[in-house]
Structure 1
């Protein structure tokens, strides 16, 4: 690693596993102090083993928990200048086409994916305004930009909302040195999509729509998060960065 994030303080939501864990680990390796934020406190503690890492209990749907997490960091001089808004859910077996979608599934999905993004960004921005700026990176989805989510209406719409939220916040705070960008990963085999990964037909169908012919891995994604967190991307804001094997180009 090259120390590209030396001097940075980062908070990553959903950092106990999956993409969030990989990004948080890579940030540590690149020299940042990293807060592993997750409602799975034990998982965050197990992940945050480096000397420059700490676990932060945080349910992103609960504003009091988000406030407490950021306040605890600030009290120790850890106001994040990088925040990765990554926590999310996809309710397989419950999310559906709109005619078949239960309101409760819609609400639970949006509560985590969109309201959670709103609360994470709200308090990230408040902290960044006190330190002169920073970088917020959202984990988006191909379902937000094309019809990949037709069977997952709640998930796809929540991610589309996140994409729009990111662009709006980027425009609002560009003159105050706060940047907001969105990474679009492909189908990436983490615990979030274990239902698809263990179903050969479903897996083949989605992998068949990726021009590079394979699922993404967390290792494919880490680099763009580092870029967006670093000074290398100081003129990038409001952008959407697809790292999806060409999935959204078809």
Structure 2
């Protein structure tokens, strides 16, 4: 349901918006009146999403695990008078087939996951804050996971740990920069069917097993996440910071 242009006047950067949740959020932000920046390490995917949205979108290449790439992207936007006042740190990975319980987890898998999910979010937020300190503040939204709250991801040690770290990062940054009018919140989607989780969604038994643990009885879709993101990006959430907003079909109630 549209919130009737609630993001008019916003410039919103969404990482990982070449596909999945990020793409859906960027498209919804544009519908709500925002100018959207499609940030993705995949230049082709970023360009295609921007073209799909139209004139209110601009593509920028950003590899969140590479600080220079993040710096360059923010500098490009600032030079174009497009410094964002909304940043959604959404990009991430889940390494199915190699992430595992800790006794079986290889250090390389741990490092690759932490480098993208936690360090990449850190770098995105770091440079978002630096930009917002010069422009009067804004809203930063992180993408968390139920696996960072309960034992839902017990077989995915690296991913679960990275998401728990993101939750803690959001609270720390929210407390540190509230006086500078920078709000930081974390949206926690449950099992959401995107290209990231094809290993589950394409396996009938695995999909049924995880769906059975969702009280609302179905997987999430990227569209399910968009409303919470729109709320947190806009003025209706002016008094919300440092919070976790679960959009998980009730997974974290169990």
TM-score per shorter chain, which class? over 0.9
Q: CA deviation at 1:202?
A: 0.8
Tell me the equivalent position of 1:157: 161
Query: In the aligned structure 2, how far is the partner of 1:221 from the partner of 1:119?
Result: 23
What does residue range 6-85 of structure 1 map to in structure 2 within 5 Å? 6-49=8-51, 50-85=54-89
Query: In the aligned structure 2, how far is the partner of 1:53 from the partner of 1:237?
Result: 27
Tell me the equivalent position of 1:207: 211
**Secondary structure in structure 2 of the residue aligned to 1:106:** helix
Normalising to structure 2: TM-score of the pair? 0.98
**Secondary structure in structure 2 of the residue aligned to 1:79:** coil
Q: CA RMSD in A?
A: 0.5
Match of 1:111 among 106, 115, 119: 115
Tell me the equivalent position of 1:167: 171
Report the more deviating stretch, 88-97 or 197-206.
197-206
Q: CA deviation at 1:35?
A: 0.5
Deviation per residue, 1:95-116 (Å, 9 max, x gap): 0000000000000000000000
Query: In the aligned structure 2, how far is the partner of 1:35 from the partner of 1:15?
Result: 9
Query: In the aligned structure 1, how far is the partner of 2:80 from the partner of 2:204?
Result: 48
Matched, 1:121 2:89: no
Q: CA deviation at 1:243?
A: 0.9
Tell me the equivalent position of 1:142: 146
**Secondary structure in structure 2 of the residue aligned to 1:60:** coil
The count of corresponding residues between Structure 1 and Structure 2 is 250
Structure 1 residue runs of 4+, over 4 Å off? none
Query: In the aligned structure 1, how far is the partner of 2:66 from the partner of 2:247?
Result: 30
Matched, 1:232 2:233: no
Query: In the aligned structure 1, how far is the partner of 2:21 from the partner of 2:38?
Result: 12
Match of 1:195 among 189, 192, 199: 199
**Secondary structure in structure 1 of the residue aligned to 2:37:** strand
Q: Which runs of 5+ in 1 are unaligned?
A: none
Normalising to structure 1: TM-score of the pair? 0.99
Q: CA deviation at 1:82?
A: 0.2
Deviation per residue, 1:42-96 (Å, 9 max, x gap): 0000000210100010000000000000000000110100000000000000000
Deviation per residue, 1:133-173 (Å, 9 max, x gap): 10000110000000011100000000000000000000000
